[in-house]
């Protein structure tokens, strides 16, 4: 962890000059352009500005107290007063050698493990999981994996939508029009059909609305028949969700659905009333946010006029349960950007209600997936794309490519490669863009072997692995990295930044940092592989290069694993 060590030294040097400075703010970052050096420190300028000091003078003074000769061949003052650090080759080599020895650790497990609840995926019962749920599932899973690797205690909870007014209509449909055979073949499609059927009838006939309302009330009051229909709908839906999670390699520690919180809803509202957080307004219980400009015009209802609870009430009970059960440092919600207002309201209400807790609440939101026409991605016939169909198509398309490229591989192997490449491509396409922007879904782009795609990275990994099929490499025998050629040095420098990248992913909840890092890594490796013969090199050179290959393979494999993508040894 050279970066941390340098950071400590510069903090000490800063305190020697400015004893009252906030040393923790003095951090170093990788240089944008490696020709300026490996790391850069901008923080002294802010310290100088706050104290009305000349920033270049402060940099000069700190530099005079700074001892980083162990790692840096030089440190320069640049621009308005930042510092550029140039690592020595020896320091880079030593750091990578020790990363290779010490369980391949390029990062340090956190000294401050946090308990983090991640609420993600959260599809709704009796409805197909659609393409919108894919982003939540893939992003949430990647964040869980990354935080766990860094040593945090992660608890994943799938907050499925298993309660709500839709069950009135669904039960009416179930009782009047259920087709058992269709239910056995595709339960969710059949439930969807029933819902649409009753919904259409409601438009034409008010008595249907009335019967849906009655069925809902009966369900809420614990009617045995309705409860058992409701339970069957949950079990059937969960089965289909589980198939998809199995394919995606995603698992949850808990699946407390919304209904789990029903017994608590009344007391949540009473609590809020007792603390003067809610006010009655037109018969409903409402929270107003007069002190928060962005929410001033958006009061939140926590109890409807008919006494019923809603999404907000349930989410309040959910936070309280999580607080009581796991005492987390943080709860992270991964959903669509359209729920931003909901979470702003929710977090504000919770802060007033439990003003003494330090627990952080984060809404990690994302944009939409668009079709070529710039509108939300739909099937040709204009319906929302079902996740299961999407995954099937990804595997089929990948299979065609594999068959063309490798016609001689056994069919079994072709299918397995296609599965990994197809699912990997979908996941990667989803994680690569800045999560808050919308992105255009394109099969051709995500499955391309060239460019920033999963197939490209998986292919790069197979190229590294192919070297190890030709030569036996014993890690413990390798003693030194030589880093003579510019391509070797560039690859080594990039490898060294891996730890910092995954820390940034975890801090900002942005897997795209890791995607771009791995893409650059594959590029550095390609240039190295072209410019520096491995198998034909002299013995010591060969061992050094094999170690670089080995570390590259490790980082590619682990990085892809964090993105939820499996690797293949051949493609």
Give the sheet arrangement for strand 300-303, strand by strand: 279-281, 284-287, 300-303
Among residues 40, 124, 285, 453, which is the contact residue for ligand ARG, using CB under 6 A? 124
Nearer to ligand ARG, 119 or 395 (CB): 119
- Tell me the window of 47-55, 115-123, 501-509, 550-558 that interacts with ligand ARG (CB under 6 A): 115-123
Q: Is 159 in the site for ligand ARG (CB under 6 A)?
A: yes
Among residues 30, 128, 161, 168, which is the contact residue for ligand ARG, using CB under 6 A? 161
Cα separation of 390 and 425, whole Å? Answer: 12
Nearer to ligand ARG, 122 or 237 (CB): 122
Within positions 325 to 344, which residues make up the interface with ligand ARG, using CB under 6 A? 333, 335
- Look at strands 330-336 and 115-119 and give their pairing: parallel
The label of the residue with tokens 């000059």 reads 17
Give the dihedral sign, CA 184/186/190/191: positive
Closest contact distance (angstroms) between CB of 124 and ligand ARG is 5
Exposure pattern of 200-231 as b/e (b: 16+ CB <10 Å)? ebbeeeeebbebbbebbebbeeebeebeebbe
Task: Report whether 317 contacts 261 (CB < 8 A).
Answer: yes
Q: Is 482 in the site for ligand ARG (CB under 6 A)?
A: no
Q: How many residues sit close enough to ligand ARG to count as binding (CB under 6 A)?
A: 10
What track of x and - describes contact with ligand ARG for positions 293 through 322 (by CB under 6 A)?
A: ----------------------x--x----
Q: Is 499 in the site for ligand ARG (CB under 6 A)?
A: no
3-class state of residue 180 by DSSP: helix
Task: Report whether 61 contacts 106 (CB < 8 A).
Answer: no
Cα separation of 140 and 145, whole Å? Answer: 9
Closest contact distance (angstroms) between CB of 119 and ligand ARG is 5
Task: Report whether 369 contacts 437 (CB < 8 A).
Answer: no
Q: Is 122 in the site for ligand ARG (CB under 6 A)?
A: yes
CA 534 to chain CA mean position, Å:
36
Six-digit token string for 126:
């009796």
3-class state of residue 211 by DSSP: helix
Q: Is 259 in the site for ligand ARG (CB under 6 A)?
A: no
Nearer to ligand ARG, 313 or 453 (CB): 313
Closest contact distance (angstroms) between CB of 140 and ligand ARG is 10
- Look at strands 369-370 and 360-366 and give their pairing: unpaired
- Which string of DSSP letters, residue by residue, matches 247-282? HHT---SB---GGGGHHHHHHHHHHHHHTT--EEET
Q: Is 14 in the site for ligand ARG (CB under 6 A)?
A: no
Closest contact distance (angstroms) between CB of 152 and ligand ARG is 20
Nearer to ligand ARG, 238 or 318 (CB): 318
Q: Is 9 in the site for ligand ARG (CB under 6 A)?
A: no
Q: Is 386 in the site for ligand ARG (CB under 6 A)?
A: no
Closest contact distance (angstroms) between CB of 159 and ligand ARG is 4
User: 89-101 and 2-17 are packed helices; what angle lies between their axes, rounded to 10 degrees?
Assistant: 130
Nearer to ligand ARG, 55 or 128 (CB): 128
Cα separation of 360 and 319, whole Å? Answer: 11
Closest contact distance (angstroms) between CB of 172 and ligand ARG is 22
Closest contact distance (angstroms) between CB of 291 and ligand ARG is 24
Nearer to ligand ARG, 123 or 559 (CB): 123
The label of the residue with tokens 């020709």 reads 35
Q: Which residue ranges make up the site for ligand ARG (CB under 6 A)?
A: 119, 122-124, 159, 161, 315, 318, 333, 335
């Amino acid at each position: 962890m050279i970066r941390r060590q340098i950071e400590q030294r510069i903090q000490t040097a800063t305190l020697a000059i400015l004893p009252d400075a906030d040393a923790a703010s003095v951090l170093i970052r990788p240089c944008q352009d490696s020709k300026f050096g490996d790391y850069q420190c901008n923080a002294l300028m802010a310290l100088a500005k706050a104290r009305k000091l000349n920033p270049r003078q402060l940099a000069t003074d700190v530099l005079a107290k700074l001892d980083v000769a162990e790692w840096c061949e030089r440190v320069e003052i640049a621009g308005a007063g930042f510092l550029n650090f140039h690592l020595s080759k020896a320091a880079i080599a030593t750091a990578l050698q020790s990363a290779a020895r010490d369980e391949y650790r390029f990062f340090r497990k956190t000294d401050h493990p946090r308990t983090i609840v991640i609420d993600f995926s959260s599809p709704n019962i009796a409805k197909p999981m659609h393409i919108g749920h894919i982003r939540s599932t893939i992003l949430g899973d990647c964040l869980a994996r990354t935080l766990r690797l860094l040593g945090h205690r992660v608890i994943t909870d799938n907050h499925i939508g298993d309660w709500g007014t839709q069950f009135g209509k669904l039960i009416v449909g179930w009782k009047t029009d259920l087709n058992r055979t269709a239910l056995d073949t595709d339960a969710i499609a059949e439930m969807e059909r029933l819902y649409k059927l009753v919904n259409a009838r409601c438009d034409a006939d008010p008595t249907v609305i009335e019967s849906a309302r009655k069925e809902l009330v009966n369900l809420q009051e614990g009617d045995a028949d309705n409860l058992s229909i409701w339970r069957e709908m949950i079990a059937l839906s969960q089965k289909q969700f589980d198939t998809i999670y199995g394919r995606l390699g995603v698992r949850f520690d808990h699946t407390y659905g919304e209904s789990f919180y029903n017994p608590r809803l009344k007391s949540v509202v009473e609590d809020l009333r007792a603390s003067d957080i809610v006010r009655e307004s037109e018969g409903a219980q409402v929270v107003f946010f007069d002190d928060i400009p962005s929410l001033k015009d958006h009061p939140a209802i926590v109890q409807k006029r008919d006494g019923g609870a809603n999404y907000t009430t349930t989410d309040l009970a959910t936070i309280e349960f999580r607080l009581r059960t796991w005492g987390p440092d943080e709860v992270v919600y991964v959903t669509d950007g359209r729920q931003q207002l909901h979470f702003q309201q929710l977090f504000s209400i919770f802060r007033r209600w439990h003003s003494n807790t330090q627990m952080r609440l984060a809404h990690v939101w994302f944009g939409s997936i668009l079709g070529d026409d710039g509108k939300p991605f739909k099937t040709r016939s204009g319906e929302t794309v079902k996740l299961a169909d999407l995954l099937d198509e990804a595997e089929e398309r990948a299979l065609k490519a594999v068959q063309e490229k490798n016609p001689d591989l056994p069919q079994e192997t072709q299918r397995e490669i296609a599965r990994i490449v197809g699912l990997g491509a979908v996941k990667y396409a989803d994680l690569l863009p800045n999560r808050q922007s919308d992105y255009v879904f394109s099969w051709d782009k995500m499955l391309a072997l060239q460019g920033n795609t999963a197939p490209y990275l998986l292919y790069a990994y197979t190229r590294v692995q192919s070297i190890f099929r030709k030569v036996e490499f014993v890690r413990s025998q390798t003693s030194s990295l030589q880093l003579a050629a510019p391509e070797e040095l560039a690859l080594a420098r990039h490898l060294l930044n891996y730890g910092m990248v995954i820390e940034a992913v975890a801090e900002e909840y942005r897997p795209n940092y890791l995607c771009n890092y791995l893409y650059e890594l594959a590029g550095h490796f390609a240039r190295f592989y072209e410019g520096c013969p491995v198998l034909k090199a002299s013995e010591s050179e060969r061992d050094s290069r094999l170690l670089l290959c080995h570390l590259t393979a490790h980082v590619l494999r682990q990085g892809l694993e964090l993105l939820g993508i499996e690797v293949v040894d051949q493609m």
